[in-house]
Amino acid sequence: MSVSNVTDIAEVKARNQALIEEVLEVYPVKTAKKRAKHLSVHEEGNSDCGVKSNIKSVPGVMTIRGCAYAGSKGVVWGPIKDMIHISHGPVGCGQYSWAARRNYYIGTTGIDTFVTMQFTSDFQEKDIVFGGDKKLAQVIDEIQTLFPLNKGISVQSECPIGLIGDDIEAVSKAKSKEYDGKTIVPVRCEGFRGVSQSLGHHIANDAIRDWVFDKMGDKPAPFEPTPYDVAIIGDYNIGGDAWSSRILLEEMGLRVVAQWSGDGTIAELEATPRAKLNVLHCYRSMNYISRHMEEKYGIPWVEYNFFGPSKIAESLRRIASFFDDKIKEGAEAVIAKYQPLMDAVIARYKPRLEGKKVMLYVGGLRPRHVIGAYEDLGMEVVGTGYEFGHNDDYQRTAQHYVKDGTLIYDDVTGYEFEKFVEKIQPDLVGSGIKEKYVFQKMGVPFRQMHSWDYSGPYHGYDGFAIFARDMDMAINAPVWKLAPPPWKKPEDDAYLLAAE
Amino acid sequence: MPQNADNVLDHFELFRGPEYQRMLAEKKQLFENPVDPAEVDRVREWAKTEEYKEKNFERSALVINPAKACQPLGAVFVAVGFERTLPFVHGSQGCVAYYRSHFSRHFKEPTSCVSSSMTEDAAVFGGLNNMVDGLANAYSMYKPKMIAVSTTCMAEVIGDDLNAFIKTAKEKESLPAEFDVPFAHTPAFVGSHITGYDNAMKGVLEHFWDGKAGTTEKLVRVPNNKINFLGGFDGYTVGNLREIKRIFGLMGVDYTILGDASDVWDTPTDGTFRMYDGGTTLEDAANAVHARATISMQQYCTEKTLPWIAGHGQEVVAFNHPIGVAGTDEFVMEVARLADVEIPDELAKERGRLVDAIADSSAHIHGKKFAVYGDPDLAYGLAAFLLELGAEPTHVLATNGSKAWAEKMQALFDSSPFGANCTAYPGKDLWHMRSLLFTEPVDFLIGNTYGKYLERDTGTPLIRIGFPIFDRHHKHRYPVWGYQGGLNVLVTILDRIFEHIDATTNVPSKTDYSYDIIR
């Protein structure tokens, strides 16, 4: 039977349940039992998505997840542009993550800005055997000689550091003292810690707390505070996302005193405890520091979603609700200002995209946050899952985003994802570089939803126009009609999956 | 508001408008605590000086922008070149995510590879359970014919024993006792990705030739007329191996390519995802022991494998990534000698066409200075070709090059009058190269995608040849080996030279007199 065009919700649920049963059959019994807990069909009204999450990946299954180092260096710390981040350990980790995440920034790279550079202690066997602390000290000295305008240094630990018993904290303290109290941050984000990138985010947040906030004491803000000061937390400025978000907050009358961490600086990190409100985009990677600032400095925080006009308007109003009428009116003015643009974007692209089905598998906030943007274009997200979500992510997803019957897959394996897509045949898959070509080979349009497929920004009103254009360009590209050779009959083999 | 539904502006143009420019300027001034622009200028100029270069070359601990990756990347490269083989990297899982992304960004293709996903408990107790479960899962899910195991640095630091672990996994029935699981220890803190290639290739061959880790009899070599071919770690493997097969076909050589990823990294978009495609058959890998000789295209990728093969009684020959006429001549003649075949006229004709093309164009290259960086063999091959073109490979740098490599480079320089002012830099990185490009400038730079930062900072036009190439598409489909490959490299160099000439002669009533229509 055709499984691709079921519309009745009971049928959808039955199909999705059957699909889950089917993929589990491939596993050894023990693994099937484990994986079963991560796959589910969403039931409307439930408070979460019915999956276990933030659990160790099963060995050998081709998880798509990364590691704590990726979460700390790659996500949280790497974009802080005026600091130098040392990939401390062997050469590989820094090499593969070198400039790969499109954290846009402005600065003179190599002189006062260092984001797209790879600094490594390049561990050799002798460093493993005798320890790397002396080398780290020397690395810091050499950085000070060659990059005198750096504003701080972070030490991003790779796997061996925690295994050979190095004391990077002691080295960092000693060097900080030697260099007049310079900010030097040791980060214990060894790749084997935790089960995914997620613990790396947490460790990186804690390092900011312990080595940036606690160190600065009661240093006064470098600017005159205003009642409208906010900080953008959890926007990595991929393709310029934080910029197309910032412009809206400023247009509504707020003043953005810090960006965490895309296009961010150590000065902005230090200024954040003076903000009146922290606005949090990527809850997963930066809720920890937001909670800390709430507890310690009494700064409230609010989650927002800047994907697609519906969620943007909702978010602008929610953010404004923390302020006076001036800001509330400002929010309304911003919404009204961009309404004609949004109407025009939707008028242009919705007819080309309406009814198209999407499957997502991403990290952070995107498995839920982008759903509204697709819906604004008349599209439907029929499956979604998190690389490294926790239960609070799945709760938010269930309560505010997914529809009844949506297929949910946590820490999906390559095999599962491929089978799900093969059977459900969405019109678009949104995931990462490792998945992109798998699905394109299958003839399924694809957009990378980590890097925006080298496009962007997607945040904010300006970003939504780009998002709509890109989804249209993926789905309606003429190439997909070319995939099956015209002389092959559909029944020949898998050429036309829809014919199943 | 610059955005427009009918003409959507993305990051290329959006932020250049006055709204964003004002916003970004204010952000900088008010909140970034920026360095005084005069001070930025001063340091930027200082970083171009001889004094800075000396300090830069004095560093011995810090590595900045290296042109090398770590061992397991090379091991994964080897594994995907065998028939239905799943690379399995024992250790932390994040590493595997990185290797897969890295290859996919270069080849624009899927790269299948699994990890044993070791975490903190494995760090304490060892990763045996991860290996046992991981092999069982990978075997049942992905139906491989072989699983090739390598290691991340985590597994190496805690000292996991692959041989023992794989044996135990088989005893625990993770997979059948006779299932092929070659392995190689590939510590990231030793050598680079080319070392990983070497270890993994030796691991696979050792498995088949030397009794599958003590589980069967060692193969007894019965020499035949075949020639084994090892390409080494090669970003052009798709185009290169197809070209090598074509050349061997023309020459009538009976050959085995050991590690052939030219299909799996170039599968069609026709509605089917092929997780495995092509590759050296396991039978051919085993039978390769009987070959008359083994050729390595890249000496520094096979420093252990090649002598080990020689130890099995074969003649072995290593090249340094031959590019151009003389390098290809040497290669073709060695193949002819080893396989005892004639070199067909067709190849002579191809050779003549490459010589013809060089004769047509060399005036634009002759005397130009180049900086080259890349893996040691590639850097050697490119430098040799440049000398052949009458160019000067002024700076040749290999982060993973050894002293022995530098000596070999020097011998190459000494062999040509165009090599008189050329220097090899082993173990140096792209920040060293940056200094060199300022203090001893050249006309063009040859390197991988990361060279674009050097191009931006120093104004030296970049010619993209190497690995990885992330920001240009499909270059890996075109060979750089053989006479045809030499032609491709020549054209790549020429295109950039002409582009540069045009771009620097296009100002009306100023430089337009050199803006020629015929060159």
Name the residue among A117, A124, A442 with its Cβ closest to that of B65. Answer: A117
| pLDDT score of A484 | 86
Residues 125-154 of B with CB under 8 A from A: 130-131, 133-142, 152-154
Give pLDDT, residue A5: 58
Measured CA angle at A92 (ends A90, A97), to 5 deg = 130
**SS3 of chain A:** CCCCCCCCHHHHHHHHHHHHHHHHCCCCHHHHHHHHCCEEECCCCCCCCCCCCCCCCCCCCCECCCCHHHHHHHHHHCCCCCEEEEEECCCHHHHHCCCCCCECCCCCECCCECCCCCEECCCCHHHHHHCCHHHHHHHHHHHHHHCCCCCEEEEEECHHHHHCCCCHHHHHHHHHHHCCCCCEEEECCCCCCCCCHHHHHHHHHHHHHHHHHHHHCCCCCCCCCCCCEEEEEEECCECCHHHHHHHHHHHCCCEEEEEEECCCCHHHHHHHHHCCEEEECCHHHHHHHHHHHHHHHCCCEEECCCCCHHHHHHHHHHHHCCCCHHHHHHHHHHHHHHHHHHHHHHHHHHHHHCCCEEEECECCCHHHHCHHHHHHCCCEEEEECECCCCHHHHHHHHHHCCCCCCEEECCCEHHHHHHHHHHHCCCEEEECHHHHHHHHHCCCCEEECCCHHHCCCCCHHHHHHHHHHHHHHHHCCCHHHHCCCCCCCHHHCCCCHHHC
- Taking residues B277-286, report their average pLDDT: 98
B55, closest residue in chain A (CA to CA)? A146
Residue of B nearest to A425 (CA): B271
**Would you call B124 an interface residue with chain A, using a CB distance cutoff of 8 Å?**
no
- Residues of chain A found within 8 Å of residue B87, distances taken between Cβ atoms: none
Whether B59 sits inside 8 A of A95 (CB atoms) is: no
Residues 6+ away with beta carbon under 8 Å from B221? B289, B290, B312, B313, B314
Q: Say how many residues make up chain A.
A: 500
pLDDT value of position A489: 74
Q: Catalytic one among A35, A38, A42, A70?
A: A70
> How many inter-chain contacts (A to B, CB under 8 Å) are there?
356
Q: Would you call B64 and A117 a contact, using CB atoms and an 8 Å cutoff?
A: yes
DSSP, collapsed to helix, strand or coil, labels residue B233 as coil
Which residues in chain A have Cβ-Cβ distances shorter than 8 Å to B120? 192-194
Q: What is the nearest CA distance from B257 to chain A, expressed in angstroms?
A: 26
Task: Give the C-alpha separation, B266 to B478, whole Å.
Answer: 12
Measured in angstroms, the CA of A87 and the nearest CA of chain B are apart by 10
> Nearest by CB to B153, which of A160, A250, A461?
A160
Q: Dihedral of CA B189/B190/B194/B196: which sign?
A: negative
Instruction: Evaluate whether A231 touches A256 at the Cβ level (below 8 Å).
Output: yes
Measured between CA atoms, how close is A7 to chain B, in angstroms?
A: 24
Q: What is the distance in angstroms between the Cα of B330 and the nearest Cα belonging to chain A? A: 35
Residue B77: its chain A contacts at CB < 8 A? none
On the question of a cis peptide bond just before residue A97, with omega within 30 degrees of 0, the verdict is no
The torsion angles phi and psi of B365, rounded to 5 degrees, stand at -110, -30
Q: Between these two residues, B466 and A486, which has the higher pLDDT value?
A: B466
Residue A428 pLDDT exceeds 70: yes
Which residue of chain B has the CA closest to A433?
B101
* Cα-based distances in Å from B95 to A156, A289, A368, B90: 15, 27, 27, 10
Confidence class for position A495, pLDDT limits 50, 70, 90:
very low
CA A456, A462, A467 angle in degrees (round to 5)?
45
| Digit-coded pLDDT (tens) for B318-340 | 999 999 999 999 999 999 999 99
Alpha-carbon span A406 to B434, nearest angstrom: 52
Whose tokens are 């240094």? That residue is: A153
A395: amino acid identity, one letter? Q
Taking the alpha carbons of B335, B340, B342, B346 in that order, is the dihedral positive or negative? negative
Model pLDDT for residues B359-393, shown as the tens digit of each residue: 999 999 999 999 999 999 999 999 999 999 999 99
Residue type, B257: I
**In angstroms, rounded to a whole number, what is the distance separating the alpha carbons of residues B485 and B17?**
45
| Pair of tokens at residue A184 | 């030097």
The answer to whether B341 and B251 have CB atoms below 8 angstroms apart is yes
Query: A184: which strand partners?
Result: A153
Between chains, do B188 and A91 touch, taking CB under 8 Å as contact? yes
| Residue B362 CB burial class (10 angstroms; 0-12, 13-18, ≥19) | middle
The number of C-alpha atoms within 13 Å of A119 and in the hemisphere containing its C-beta is 27
Which of A87, A161, A441, A458 is the best mutation test for B, with the most CBs of B within 10 A?
A: A441
Amino acid at A83: M
Backbone angles phi, psi at A141, to 5 degrees: -60, -45
Question: Rounded distance, CA B437 to CA B431, Å?
Answer: 10
Average pLDDT for residues B396-413, to the nearest whole number? 98
* Residue of A251, A434, A446, A458 to mutate, interface with B, max B Cβ within 10 Å: A434
Q: Please state, in angstroms and rounded to a whole number, the distance separating the CA atoms of residues A89 and A73.
A: 13
The mean pLDDT of A310-316, rounded to a whole number, is 98
| Per-residue model confidence (pLDDT) at position A500 | 31
Q: What digits encode the pLDDT tens for the residues A190-214? A: 999 999 999 999 999 999 999 999 9
Q: Catalytic annotation on A201? A: yes
A455/B40 Cβ within 8 A = no
Are A441 and B267 within 8 A, CB to CB? yes
Q: How far is the CA of A1 from the CAs of A15, A77, B464, in angstroms?
A: 11, 50, 50
Q: A461 to chain B: which residues are within 8 Å by CB? A: 3
Q: Does B93 touch chain A (CB under 8 A)?
A: yes
| Nearest chain B residue (CA) to A258 | B31
Cβ contact (<8 Å) for A265 and B32?
yes
H helix or E strand, kind and range, residue B438: helix B430-439
Backbone angles phi, psi at B8, to 5 degrees: -70, 125
Q: Say what the ipTM of the complex is.
A: 0.98
Contact A63 B117 (CB under 8 A): yes
Q: Of B327, B330, B436, which Cα lies nearest the Cα of B389?
A: B327
B70 catalytic, yes or no? Answer: no
Check CB contact of B25 with chain A, cutoff 8 Å: no
Of the pLDDT bands very low, low, confident and very high (cuts 50, 70, 90), residue A493 is low
How does residue A488 score in pLDDT terms, banded at 50, 70 and 90?
A: confident
Closest residue of chain A to B400, computed from CA coordinates? A91
Q: If we measure between CA atoms, which residue out of A259, A258, A249, A264 comes closest to residue A225?
A: A258
Q: Which of A80, A93, A152 is nearest to A122 (CA)?
A: A93
Distance CA B230, CA B517 (A): 44
DSSP state of B504: T
Confirm if B444 and B465 have CB atoms less than 8 A apart. Answer: no
A contacts of B60 (beta carbons < 8 Å): 138, 142
Packed helices B482-503 and B325-339: angle between N→C axes, nearest 10 degrees: 170
Place of tokens 């100029």: B45
CB contact B267 to A (< 8 Å): yes
How far apart CA A492 and CA B406 sit, in angstroms, is 57
B27 and B15 in contact (C-beta within 8 Å)? no
Mean pLDDT of the region B281-295: 98
Among chain A residues, CA nearest to B105: A433
Residue in A49, A67, A331, A474 annotated catalytic:
A67
pLDDT band of A221, cuts 50, 70, 90: confident
Sign of the four-CA dihedral A273, A274, A278, A281: negative
Residue pLDDT, tens place only, B84-126: 999 999 999 999 999 999 999 999 999 999 999 999 999 999 9
Question: Which residues, in sequence order, are bridge partners of residue B377?
Answer: none
Picking from B104, B157, B270, the nearest residue to A437 by CB comes out as: B104
Contact call for residues A252 and A330 (beta carbons, < 8 A): yes
When the pLDDT of each residue in chain B is averaged and rounded to a whole number, the result is 98
Q: Which residues contact residue A496 at a Cβ distance below 8 angstroms, ignoring those fewer than 6 apart? A: A484, A490, B271
Joined tokens for residue B227? 């020639």
pLDDT tens digits, one per residue of B477-503: 999 999 999 999 999 999 999 999 999
- Domains with residue ranges and CATH for chain A: 1-65+354-454 (3.40.50.1980), 68-194+196-213 (3.40.50.1980), 229-332 (3.40.50.1980)
* Interface residue B476 vs chain A (CB under 8 A): no
Residues 167-226 of B with CB under 8 A from A: 187-190, 192
With beta carbons under 8 A apart, name residues in chain A contacting B28. 106
Instruction: Please give the DSSP secondary-structure letter assigned to residue B467.
Output: S
- Residue B153: active-site member: yes
Chain-chain contact of B31 with A337 (C-beta, under 8 angstroms): no
Residues forming a β-bridge with B316: B294
Residue of B95, B96, B149, B153 with catalytic role: B153
Helix (H) or strand (E) holding B394: strand B392-398
The partner residues of B255 in beta bridges, in order of sequence, read B227
pLDDT at A491: 60
Q: Give the side-chain half-sphere CA count within 13 A for A186.
A: 17
Is there a contact between A307 and A459 (Cβ–Cβ < 8 Å)? yes
**Cross-chain CB nearest to A59 (options B40, B137, B190):** B137
Q: How far is A368 from chain B (nearest CA, A)?
A: 23
Separation CA B375–CA B232 (nearest Å): 11
Measured in angstroms, the CA of B464 and the nearest CA of chain A are apart by 17
Place of tokens 């420093």: B303
Q: Do B112 and A89 touch (CB under 8 A)?
A: no
* pLDDT attached to residue A418: 98
Tell if the CB–CB gap between B140 and A149 is shorter than 8 Å.
no
Q: What angle do CA A342, A344, A347 make, to 5 degrees?
A: 110
Q: Report the residue from A59, A457, A485 with minimal CB separation from B270.
A: A485
Tens-digit pLDDT profile for residues A15-45 = 999 999 999 999 999 999 999 999 999 999 9
Phi-psi region of A427 (alpha: psi -120 to 50; beta: other; left: phi over 0): alpha
Nearest CB among A97, A121, A432 relative to B98 is that of A97
Whole-angstrom distance, CA of residue B252 vs CA of residue B140: 41
pLDDT band at A490 (very low <50, low <70, confident <90, very high): low
pLDDT for res A127? 98
**Per-residue pLDDT tens digits for A347-390:** 999 999 999 999 999 999 999 999 999 999 999 999 999 999 99
Residues of B in contact with A78 (CB under 8 A): none
